Amino acid sequence: MSSQASGGYAARVATLRRTVTDGVTRDLGWRRAQLRALRALVVDHEEELTEAVRADVGKPALEVRVTELSQVVQEIDDLLAHLEEWTAARTVPLPAMLLPGSAEIQLQPKGVVLVIAPWNYPVQLLLNPLAGALAAGNTVLVKPSELTPRVAATLERLVGECLPAEAVQVVTGGVEETTALLTERFDHIFFTGSPRVGRIVMRAAAEHLTPVTLELGGKSPTFVDGTVDPETAARRIAWGKFTNAGQTCIAPDYVLVTQDARDALVAALGEAVTEFFGTDPAASPDYGRILDERQHERLVALLEGAGGDGAAGRVVLGGGHDRADRNYLAPTVVVDPPADCDLMAEEIFGPILPVVTVADADAAIAHIGAHERPLALYVFSDDPRTRRAFEEQTVSGGLAHGAPLIHLTVPGLPFGGVGTSGMGRYLGRASIEELSHHRSVLTKPLRPDTLSVAYPPFPSWKRTVVRRFMAPMSRSVLGSALPARILSGAGTLPRRLLRRP
Ligand code: NAD
């Protein structure tokens, strides 16, 4: 056990908590300064960060820029541009019975937030929640993945150089360190990773009754029918699937395709892969690699169990792999694998795309409904009724028509899962909502004492007031017996009802 893990992290959490309890973080100027420092950390060290991600995950440099660094800069800019508006108190109208007075919802910093990140987008999945937590006035302890050691070490050093230790601290390490960290009391835990570890985190959080955001994974289905252009659909699906060699939480996990569209789609997927990575993707500088040997072995076993060994499924594209070539696994398409194989049971998280034939959209919707609720669902259909059917009859973290991945990049669209794909949501305003305590604040002047209506004794005139001005105890939903003007707080109670008789 590392000395830090055995010694605990109490002192570091205490330092972070003091900053919040001292009131420093309530100041929007303080929050802006942290966000600007974080922005500078990314912009000024672009090359260093890119090199670290390339070394750990094997991503092409442009992909690092597009899917990691620019995402963080955009997120910070969005938070900075709207900080005042998004953190402002929200006035709530008082019911007539409580006038005069006022009510509002104030957003308060929660306190110390723990951010735990996975390895697949090791920069943005650590820094985006960090930015949101700072914008909401929290101090933050971040824990990068141990599977990206160079990124973790680089971020630990850069955060130490660019941000004050009273605002942000980095803890590196794996299971042992995270287990020790989770014994500390935090005010919110923001976890991104697998559903398995999500359960461990939530169990630990329960000890302190700490709220959690869980950004998890699972199988994200894609539906394609014969109404769409197969070439464009295939290009987009191939891009979504084979970016970062399929190691993306919202990558299309598998395709459900109608019979009439299947052969054209499969042929077009092959063309798209050649267009993107040439005839030998192993030689392409633009194709990524599998993280490590363990993941590589897991993926090869999934492939073999699904038809790579000549069983029911057909490997119609790719299938080649070479552990010696930095865990290479070709962009692969398997048509109609057995329904009960592991490839169709667990999150693939690699460049293997099962294409499963279904009778129609209803069959696809039934298939999706019979499985865990996905993080993302993609629908390729030009038929508005089909699109509407997916919107109304399925549940998923996000739903995108006609394109994978990009819904994550739309400022204003919160990101999060549902069921086993996660709970809570973040990015932009959603981060501030998620990582703030929403305090209800009521202000009631002592004069006149209109609350006297509620004090005993209860003569008949009070019963009249209650009957007329409180929600009626009626079987039918009346909305309200009161005019909207009074309900909205714009009106006042008649004077005779405010006076004690
Ligand atoms: P993981 O769950 O194995 O690890 C995530 C983090 O948890 C790491 O920092 C790790 O150190 C820590 N951890 C691992 N085991 C732990 C334990 N026993 N106790 C405490 N902490 C522990 O996930 P991963 O392999 O890094 O990432 C892949 C998974 O993450 C996939 O399921 C993917 O879908 C999901 N993911 C989700 C999102 C999202 O935004 N929803 C984004 C990326 C990845």
Q: Same domain, yes or no, for 57 and 179?
A: yes
User: Is 126 a domain residue?
Assistant: yes
Q: Same domain, yes or no, for 239 and 168?
A: no
Query: How far away, in angstroms, is 117 Cα from ligand 1 center?
Result: 7
Q: Average pLDDT for residues 286-314, to the nearest whole number? A: 85
Residues 335-379: tens digit of each pLDDT: 999 999 999 999 999 999 999 999 999 999 999 999 999 999 999
192 and 125 in contact (C-beta within 8 Å)?
A: yes
User: Who wins on pLDDT, 119 or 452?
Assistant: 119
Q: Same domain, yes or no, for 186 and 239?
A: no
Q: Same domain, yes or no, for 169 and 238?
A: no
- Closest by CA to 304, choosing from 263, 312, 355, 349, is 312
For ligand 1, say whether the CB of 102 is within 6 Å of any of its atoms. no
Domain with residue 227: its CATH number is 3.40.309.10
User: Is 449 a domain residue?
Assistant: no
33 and 27 in contact (C-beta within 8 Å)?
A: no
Q: Same domain, yes or no, for 90 and 205?
A: yes
Q: Which domain holds residue 334?
A: 221-412
User: Is 480 a domain residue?
Assistant: yes
Q: Same domain, yes or no, for 265 and 315?
A: yes
Q: Same domain, yes or no, for 237 and 346?
A: yes
User: Is 271 a domain residue?
Assistant: yes
31 and 137 in contact (C-beta within 8 Å)?
A: yes
Q: Same domain, yes or no, for 249 and 205?
A: no
Q: Average pLDDT for residues 435-462, to the nearest whole number? A: 94
Active-site residue set: 215, 249
Determine which of 42-56, 312-326, 341-355 has the lowest per-residue pLDDT on average.
312-326
Q: Same domain, yes or no, for 209 and 225?
A: no
User: Is 133 a domain residue?
Assistant: yes
| Total domains, the chain | 3
Label residue 460 left, alpha or beta by phi (over 0 means left) and psi (-120 to 50 means alpha): alpha
Read off the pLDDT band of 96 (50, 70, 90): confident
Query: How far away, in angstroms, is 176 Cα from ligand 1 center?
Result: 14
- Cα(212)–Cα(423) distance, rounded to whole angstroms? 8
Mutate to test the pocket of ligand 1, among 2, 146, 176, 178 (most ligand atoms within 8 A of CB): 178
Phi (first) and psi of residue 301, to 5 degrees: -65, -40
Q: Same domain, yes or no, for 377 and 434?
A: no
User: Is 465 a domain residue?
Assistant: no
Tell whether the model's pLDDT for residue 102 goes beyond 80.
yes
Read off the pLDDT band of 97 (50, 70, 90): confident
Contacts of 98 (CB under 8 A, 6+ apart): 442, 444, 450
141 and 171 in contact (C-beta within 8 Å)?
A: yes
**pLDDT at position 106, please?**
98
**pLDDT at position 492, please?**
43
Residues 164-179: tens digit of each pLDDT: 999 999 999 999 999 9
Domain with residue 43: its CATH number is 3.40.605.10
For ligand 1, say whether the CB of 117 is within 6 Å of any of its atoms. yes
Query: How far away, in angstroms, is 216 Cα from ligand 1 center?
Result: 8
Q: Same domain, yes or no, for 435 and 485?
A: no
Q: Same domain, yes or no, for 127 and 64?
A: yes
